[in-house]
Structure 1
């Protein structure tokens, strides 16, 4: 069975709602043979990354950059991930209050350095998530999970 690792930092109700939509998409009834593991960014380990076949990363945009928790996740997993997980599929989402562009650039730069292969358009938005944002989050989770079906 394939494993999808969802790593997130969800300190607000808005981010929690987006996370729940991503997880619902990844666990949709039509997704078969994919185990979905959800880890908070500060708890996710190198072993979690190496055991996964694909990834969804979720973060807030804080002061124009990734959350400290997601940055920490990449700091502790980058070397092992870039050596052993190249070309694995991933997607990501970024939620902010005023600007997500710095966090988006960081996410693209870091994941390019790791060598992951983006398989879904990123979900990046400002303000409260509406129905369209939550539908896009569900689609993001389902799309990444579907790439892992065997």
Structure 2
């Protein structure tokens, strides 16, 4: 069964709302035959990454960059997973108080280095998530999971 790994750093209610929307989309009833695994960024391991077929990462934008927790995740998995995960699909969402540009750029740079392929447009949310933001996160989760269906 294909596996979608959702790696997230969720330190606030706003980030929690985005994560819940992503998970709801990835586990929607019409998505069949895909296992969804959630891991906090500080708990995710190279084994989690190697055992997954696709990835969805979520982070707050902190000081113009991804959270330290997500950076730590990428630092831990980069070399152990570099050759084995090239070409796998991924998606991402970023939440910021006033800007997400640097964090979004960092995710693109790191995933390009890993050779992962963007499978859905990135979601970037500023401030309190509106219905459209939550819908975009739902669609992101659904798109990544649906892309892994047998």
TM-score normalised by L of structure 2 = 0.99
3-state SS, counterpart of residue 80 of structure 1: helix
Q: Which residue of 1 aligns with 2:117?
A: 117
In the alignment, structure 1 residue 127 sits paired with structure 2 residue 127: yes
4+ runs deviating over 6 angstroms: none
Which string of whole-angstrom CA distances, capped at 9 and with x for unpartnered residues, describes residues 101-150 of structure 1?
A: 11011000000000001010000121000100000000000000011001
> Which residue pairs with 1:40 in the alignment?
40
Where does structure 1 lack aligned partners over 5 or more consecutive residues?
none
Equivalence for 2:3: 3
- Count of matched residue pairs: 150
- How far residue 99 of structure 1 moved from its aligned partner, in angstroms, is 1.1
**1:80 CA displacement:** 1.8
Query: How far has the Cα of 1:44 moved from its partner?
Result: 0.2
Report the alpha carbon displacement of residue 83 of structure 1 after superposing the two structures with TM. Answer: 1.2
What does residue 72 of structure 2 align with?
72
- Partners of 1:48 and 1:17 lie apart in 2 by 24
1:66-103 deviations in whole A, cap 9, x for unaligned? 00000000000001221110111110000001211110
Tell me the secondary structure at the aligned position of residue 90 of structure 2: strand
Aligned equivalents of 2:81 and 2:131: distance in 1? 34
Deviation at 1:64, TM superposition (A): 0.4
- Tell me the C-alpha RMSD between the 2 structures: 0.5
What 5-or-longer segments of structure 2 have no aligned partner?
Answer: none
Normalising by structure 1, what TM-score? 0.99
Aligned to 2:98: 98
Q: Report the equivalent of 1:149.
A: 149
